[in-house]
Amino acid sequence: MSVGRALVLLLALAACRDDMGEQNKDVAYDPSGVWSDGASTRPRVAGTVTRDAPLRVIALAEPPEVTPALLARGRERFEIFCAPCHGFDGTGDGRVVQRGFPRPPSYLSERLRAAPAAHFLSIIADGFGVMYPYGDRVEPADRWAIVAYIRALQLAGGDAPQPDPARAAVPVETPFPPADEAPE
């Protein structure tokens, strides 16, 4: 076969169709014509008991042993889900509160120092007042970890460590400047 013909055949490659890129299957977040709401991701049927439901109940029943790893996990989860309102030191002046969200009570207060762990566990799961439930975002084991970290914050008495740069990007001095150019 001549070189010329080979080159012409190469051209055909540029026009390959992408049938396999759009397969007849539904993956998460794909639109779907099967259900009336047009989504392939289905909500749970009311009353569904998840396969791990017993494990979740067990995880909540007894407090885990407090270890450095548990506190580290608690700090990470706290800074993701709680610190936006409760602040990185637990006093309740998080950045969302600074923007007008009603200020939550300080963890450092006498009342919350005396509150049992179950108090925090249930509020994380079910919410309280203007606070939405976080049960769907924070797993049972992580709720214990957060409570352990709240206890650590209470011991620290407002003297909390600097948050990780990832969770306080603009306001905290970080080893990495926010951007080479100032954000718009």
Partner 1 sequence: MAQDFEPRANTVARLILAGLVLMPLTFVGLGYALERSDYVTGQNETVEQPIPFSHAHHSGEIGIDCRYCHTSVEVSAKAGLPPTTTCMSCHSQLWTEAEMLAPVRESLSTGVRLKWEPVNELPDYVYFNHSVHVTNGIACTECHGSVGEMRLMRQAAPLTMDWCLDCHRDPVPYLQPPEMITYPYRTTSQMSEIDQAPLAEFYDIHPGGLTDCSTCHR
Please give the residue ranges that form the binding site for partner 1 (CB under 8 A): 3-4, 7-8, 10-11, 13-15, 18, 20-23, 25, 27-29, 37-39, 79-81, 84, 95-96, 99-102, 130-133, 136-137, 164-172, 175-180, 183-184
Which residue's CB is nearer to partner 1, number 2 or number 49? Answer: 2
Cα angle 20, 41, 35 (rounded to 5 degrees) comes to 95
- 48/35 Cα distance (integer angstroms): 19
Q: Which is nearer to partner 1, 79 or 89 (CB)?
A: 79
Query: Roughly how many angstroms between the first and final C-alpha of the chain, as a whole number?
Result: 58
The least distance separating partner 1 from the CB of residue 57, rounded to whole angstroms, comes to 20
Helix axes 140-156, 53-61, angle to 10 degrees: 20
Nearer to partner 1, 8 or 63 (CB): 8
In terms of phi and psi (left: phi > 0; alpha: psi -120 to 50; beta: otherwise), the region of 134 is alpha
Q: How far is the CB of 131 from partner 1 (least distance, A)?
A: 8
Among candidate residues 110, 130, 134, the one with its CA nearest the CA of residue 120: 134
Residue 114 CB, nearest approach to partner 1 (Å): 27
In the complex, least distance from residue 108 CB atom to partner 1, rounded to whole angstroms = 22
